[in-house]
Structure 1
Amino acid sequence: MQQPIAILDSGVGGLTVAKEVMRQLPREKIVYFGDTARTPYGPRSSEEIIRFTREIVDYLIQFNPKMIVIACNTATAAGLEDIRSRVEIPVIGVINPGARAAIRLTVTGCVGVIGTEGTIKSKAYDQALKALSPEITVISEACPRFVPLVEKGNFRSRETYETVQSSLGHLQGYPMDTLILGCTHYPFLTETISEVMGQGVTLISSADETAREISAILDKKGSLSQGDSIPVHQFFCSGDTRIFQLITHQWLGKQIQLSPVVWQIPTIV
């Protein structure tokens, strides 16, 4: 039985990571969990996010994954080390891959980061960026109104543009040439964010960098899937399956089998 890569997110945002894994690693099976019933994670406390992340990992462990990907920046900032201490398989997040890409691409040395309130407050990106390049200038901005737009499937509309413009318009006054989309929901809004920020700002989604890190880790462990069989992916969510399935179909370009989740008492302690 093929061991899957388990990917978890607060909702549909982690589908951006799942899509890139499917593109770069087409032989790998994915088991995905979106906590749509409790999204957004951004305004929640670290303690609450850690508890939610433990519960989801506990659910995903039954599928015997070979790796866990926390495809949520807020959950990565709050719970990555906690989960690593509780399981024996590799666990990676999405913050360090995005930071590495920004350092590689910036010319001005001024990098912008947008994310949820929880991610920005944690300063996880600031720390990751400055660990790589101490002289880097980081401009951070919380954008709490973005995730609800994405979870409703509202990617392109007048409301979307006005929300993005009011949230990011003032950042145009900084000499940044690189902007990290520090929430995996935000790539769904790439067209609008790019329109507001202008052609001189390169947008960075950590999805492709995360997929490369997954590949490198599995290759080093000799755990990459072999053979030519097409994997059957599984998608789970904790909330409304209709909207989740619609967005998943739109983003991945294929119909999926979706299983709703009934919460159980966590066994990870």
Structure 2
Amino acid sequence: MTAVHVGVFDSGFGGLTVLRALLPLIPGARYTYLGDTARLPYGAKSRQTIARYAVSSAKFLEDHGAEMLVIACNTASALAMDELRASTSLPVLGVIEPGAEAAREATASGSTLVLATQATVQSNAYFKALQAVGLEATQKACPLLVPLVEEGWIDHDVTEQVARIYLTEALADAAKAGLSPSTVLLGCTHYPLLRPLITRLLAELSPQPITVIDSAETTAGKVAEMLHALPGRPSSNLTFYATDSTEKFRALGTRFLGQPLPEVNLLDLGG
């Protein structure tokens, strides 16, 4: 049997953490990754525009042979899943539901803390998904973390100070609401690069142990579960597209993927 073809879409670079988690779980799949870097940030756009952008990217992946679509973008997953699923007959998986399911399994206290971008928090998508699985949630927007990660300041003192402030505020907000979160859900695909820092800070700031859940890993695990019945396949085949500077995409993408990127193809999806 030929390799299953998985299309992975994000507005930029963060979705590469989902691809990074997929590679060891389904090593024989063929992957096409599309980063819509010319039109980011999605969080500053209207829901209608985000849906239009996401659907055009999904159509490109489907037209190029994808048999499953992974929406490795929290904003698109939060605001455009209905339109995406209506636009294709392919299986479509976002990052929010797998994260909520993982939180349900790992949360002992009945409440969790979501760290995400402003747009994802405002969508309330994680709040609703967690509520649907019986969990209470506190959400915290952490807008400065994405640019710090893209700057490469993963281990920088400034990043630690910013993360400490966000986590201190988030835990205080949870306490005011009478909640004691036992899990923290990383609701942005940039944040896995900060997981060691966040884990260490939570150990200092929280009076109880808190498990950090990486939505990139949980999404990859769900994809592997969906494709588990497929027989063995040949080695991985990776193809990358970006809608803006391919040089920048390769430079930043290497950090997110954890390995050098091969050639990145420039793609024009229009306005």
TM-score by length of 1: 0.88
- Name the residue aligned to 2:213: 204
Aligned residues: 260
- Does the aligned pair in 1 maintain the 2:12–2:36 contact within 8 Å? yes
- Name the residue aligned to 1:226: 232
Q: Distance in 2 between matches of 1:192 and 1:253?
A: 17
Question: How far is 1:58 from its partner?
Answer: 2.5
- For the aligned residues, what is the CA RMSD? 2.0
- Does the aligned pair in 2 maintain the 1:40–1:147 contact within 8 Å? no
1:183 aligns with 2:188: yes
* SS of match in other structure, 2:65: coil
- Does the aligned pair in 1 maintain the 2:113–2:137 contact within 8 Å? yes
Q: Distance in 2 between matches of 1:165 and 1:40?
A: 25
- Does the aligned pair in 1 maintain the 2:106–2:183 contact within 8 Å? yes
C-alpha change, 1:147 and 1:218, in structure 2 (3 Å) is same
Q: Show CA shifts across 1:201-248 (max 9, x none).
A: 2111122221222123234xx6x3633x21220112222323321233
- Name the residue aligned to 2:262: 257
* SS of match in other structure, 1:235: strand
* SS of match in other structure, 1:198: helix
Q: Show CA shifts across 1:84-120 (max 9, x none).
A: 1111110010101100111111111120011112211
Identity %: 33
Q: Show CA shifts across 1:132-170 (max 9, x none).
A: 11xx32101111222222233332212212222232221
Question: How far is 1:55 from its partner?
Answer: 2.1
Gaps of 5+ in 2: none
Alignment-mate amino acid for residue 82 of structure 2: E
Alignment-mate amino acid for residue 255 of structure 2: Q
- Does the aligned pair in 2 maintain the 1:44–1:118 contact within 8 Å? no
Q: Distance in 2 between matches of 1:122 and 1:252?
A: 27
- Name the residue aligned to 1:32: 33
- Does the aligned pair in 2 maintain the 1:239–1:260 contact within 8 Å? no
- Does the aligned pair in 1 maintain the 2:245–2:266 contact within 8 Å? no
Alignment-mate amino acid for residue 129 of structure 2: A
Question: How far is 1:191 from its partner?
Answer: 2.2
* SS of match in other structure, 2:140: strand
TM-score by length of 2: 0.88
